[in-house]
């Protein structure tokens, strides 16, 4: 059995995309993460020192969303996954990056990319 932490709706204003107007004007992006924990100490000990610090996870994801522009949200999701796997004691991470205002020519509620990566 695994333990999971899920955080939804981490948002930030970034300049990701293929088109000049996306790089110039920017837009809102959001991400959801599902963390599979290597160490199940926190669920047994009830001690904060054994837990993954959610606030740090959120800060890492937010900094990437507002950080260096990339062309594709697939790549943005990969950068987030790599950063979380490197920084926290996780077995795997699932990342969903949402680009609700993607320039696709017709109205859509959301466009998202979901990836799952393991150590």
Q: Which residues are catalytic, by number?
A: 99
In 10 A of CB 117, how many CB atoms?
A: 16
Which residues on adjacent β-strands are paired with residue 13?
A: 28
């Amino acid at each position: 059995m695994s333990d999971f932490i899920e955080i939804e709706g981490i948002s930030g204003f970034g300049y990701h995309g293929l088109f000049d107007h996306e790089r110039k004007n920017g837009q809102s992006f959001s991400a959801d993460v599902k963390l599979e924990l290597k160490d199940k100490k926190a669920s047994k000990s009830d001690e904060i020192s054994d837990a993954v610090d959610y606030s740090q996870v959120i800060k890492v994801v937010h900094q990437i969303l507002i950080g260096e522009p990339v062309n594709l949200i697939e790549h943005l999701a990969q950068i987030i996954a790599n950063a979380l796997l490197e920084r926290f004691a996780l077995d795997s991470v699932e990342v969903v990056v949402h680009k609700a205002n993607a320039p696709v020519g017709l109205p859509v509620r959301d466009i998202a990319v979901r990836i799952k990566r393991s150590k």
